[in-house]
Every structure is written in C-alpha cells, then in structure tokens.
Amino acid sequence: MDCIEKIKTAKKEIILVGTAHISQKSVSLVKKTIEEEKPDAIGVELDSQRFHQLLSGKKWRELDLVSIIKQGKAYLLLFNLLLSSIQRRLGEKVGIEPGKEMKTAIKIATATGTPLVLLDRDISITLRRALAELSFIEKLKLFFGVFSSLFGIGEEITKEKIEELKQKDVISELMDELGKELPSVKKVLVDERDLFIANRILAAKGKKIVAVVGAGHIGGIKKYLDKKRNISHLNNVPRKKSSLNYLKYLVPLFFATILAIGLLYRGINTTIGILWLWIAVNGSLSALGALLAGAHWKSIIVAFIAAPLTSLHPLLAAGWFAGIMEAKQRTPKVKDFETLGTISLRGLYKNNVSRILLVVVFANIGSAIGTIIALPWAISMLG
C-alpha cells in the first residue's frame, strides 16, 4: 500500500510520503505525489552533509585523518562507513540507487523553483549522541549487528521484501523491536529525529508541504505536528555517562598501587616481573589488533610500544599512534578518498583510508583487552 499520510493543522497542510530508501516504487510515489499536490515547499529527510554527499559525492579528500584520529572520531567515521556500505549493498541487490527517491524530490524542487527544506538533524550529531547514550552492552549489540549485517546480506533480499518493509504495521513492529533491544539507539536515531523533523516541517514556509521521509518515521512525526517545540537540546552532544570512563583514571592508580605493594612486600624482582607482564600482554594484544587490521609492520611495532604506556594515560590511546604511523606508511591516494563511500567489507582492508581507521579501532580494542587481562594477572603475582 502507498505510504502517504495527510495532516491538516491550523496553518498548514502536510503530506508525509513514507519511503524505503532503496525502492523504485518509492521513487515513483514521490514523483507522483509532488506533481499532484503542487506544494509550496518540498522537504527531504536529509541534513546538509548528506544532501551534498548525495548530489555530488562527499569531498573525502578534505578529510584530515590525523585530526580525526587524535579527536577519537575514528570509531564514528568507521561506523558511518559500515552503515553506508550496508545500504549500498542492499541497493545493488534490488537494482536501485540508495536515496534515489530523495534525489527525485530535489530534482523536482530545482526544476519547478519550489523551496527545498532539509528536515533532518546533522548526521554527525545524531551518531555522536547515539554513541554517548549507549551502554557498553548496547554498543556490543550494535556493532555486532552491523558487522553481521555486512556478512549476512544475501540473495534473500528482494524488491518484494523491501516493499513489504514499507507497510505501516511491519515498520511499527520493527521500531518496537529496536526499542526493546537497543532503547538508547531508538531514542536518538528515531524518537529524537521524529521530533526534529516535525519541527522543521512546521517551520517551513508556505501553506502546503510535501515531506519525503523514511516510512519508519511517519508514526512518530505525526505525534509532534500539533505544535512547534523547543528542540535546541537535540543539537547538544552529552558527555558519555559510562562508568568505563572513570576506569581510565583508576587503572594507572591501581597499577601504581600494585607496583608499590610488589616493591615493598615482594621485592624488586617481582616488581620487574609485573612490569614485563604488563608490557608483554598489553603490547602483544594491541599489536595483534593492528595485525588483524592489516597494518604495516611499523604500525604493529608502534602499537606494541605505545599500548603499555597509553593504557596508563587516560587521555591517550595506542590506536592513535598506530593509526598515525599507518597513515605515514600508507598515505591515502586520491582514489582511496574517492571510493571511500562505496567500499565493501573486503574493500575496508584494501582502501588505505578505511584500513587506517581499522588499525586505530583494532589496536585500541587489543590494548583494552590487554589491560583487562594484565591487571588481575599482576595481582596474582603478589600472592
């Protein structure tokens, strides 16, 4: 069934067009609705960043990789690339370019001179808010789900199934399931954006607007179309609430205590043994992480050397140093940046940009695991 909802407020007539982002029927529905309704404004579920990326391709060459690594945003960029890869591969299976329905709406707006309204919140703010709200367990579920999706996209994804996902009851069921499994993710990715998009629709000029949005947002957007609300807080990125952040400061204190106890009660040999244990375990697992990411041998050595030290510094990470060395050894070329938005899972290891991000993430994960293993092992040496 066509996913269209018409709402009339005291000042505006709103036509919500619910789409699947990789559906030819959605493209036709958008074109047909705009041509019939002749709205005063056309809204699309895009922010400025995705708008420019959709039309001309993101200018990946402008990325400052070293800055991204130092700011701890490698995880964010890699996660964004993985999500884009999933959508692109789904689009290939059903023979439709992802986001074509949005392009159609933009093209019509340009051709007719109809004002175009970008309805969505900045994607970087959305992802940063989502990651900040996630608990450790939820992060594991989310990343496991993303990686399993990369491996699990197969021939079973058909045009018919994509169209089935547009049906209101199925979408509602999926949203409810997301809320149960990952409530923090649903709150940020769905509920907050519903409110944000609704406010943007109400703020659009003109008495009639056609808003092209994902079918999963229709129900939520409708709830907020009764009046404009204050949404300034939705553009703030809260500080991470995870107790793991406090551990960054406790680990060096705890390790120093272990060394002090070892020196006072077990002697210099035990203390040296604990230090070698810390270096071997932390360094080896961080180096292993870099190796699994396909790092250059110099980057692997840097991960090994940096991990035992950065694990004791709350503001540094082994992956940052390994990633910067990887960037020096395998400097990304123009083609790496130009193909960044279209890489596959295997391509992550062949593209120099994405491989650098993998080195950062995997080396950090290895170092974190090394810390978890080394601390109780060190304590056992005091017995």
Least reliable range by pLDDT among 1-10, 73-82, 167-176? 167-176
Q: How much is the mean pLDDT over the chain?
A: 80
pLDDT digits (tens, 9 = 90+) for 221-241: 999 998 899 999 888 877 655
Instruction: Report whether 341 contacts 324 (CB < 8 A).
Output: no
Q: What percent of the chain has pLDDT over 70?
A: 69
Write the DSSP string, 158-210.
-HHHHHHTTSHHHHHHHHHHHHHH-HHHHIIIIIIHHHHHHHHHHHSSSSEEE
User: Mean of the pLDDT values across residues 376-382?
Assistant: 92
pLDDT digits (tens, 9 = 90+) for 279-304: 999 999 999 999 998 999 999 999 99
The radius of gyration of the chain's CA atoms, rounded to the nearest angstrom, is: 25
pLDDT digits (tens, 9 = 90+) for 97-132: 667 889 999 999 999 999 999 999 988 888 778 777
pLDDT digits (tens, 9 = 90+) for 301-329: 999 999 999 999 888 889 999 999 998 88
User: Mean of the pLDDT values across residues 138-162?
Assistant: 56
Q: How confident is the model at residue 169 (pLDDT cuts 50, 70, 90)?
A: very low
Long-range contact set of residues 223-228: C-beta below 8 Å, sequence gap at least 24: 223/194, 223/198, 224/194, 224/195, 224/198, 224/199, 225/7, 225/9, 225/14, 225/198, 225/201, 226/9, 227/202, 228/199, 228/202, 228/203
For residue 90, pLDDT beyond 70: no
Measured in degrees and rounded to the nearest 5, phi and psi for residue 227 equal: -165, 160
Instruction: Count the helix, strand and coil residues of the chain and give each as a percent rounded to the nearest 5.
Output: 70, 5, 25
At residue 154, the pLDDT reads 44
Instruction: Report whether 200 contacts 117 (CB < 8 A).
Output: yes
Q: What percent of the chain has pLDDT over 90?
A: 39
At residue 56, the pLDDT reads 66
Look at the pTM and tell me if it is higher than 0.75.
no
pLDDT digits (tens, 9 = 90+) for 9-60: 888 999 999 887 666 788 889 999 999 999 999 999 998 877 877 776 555 5
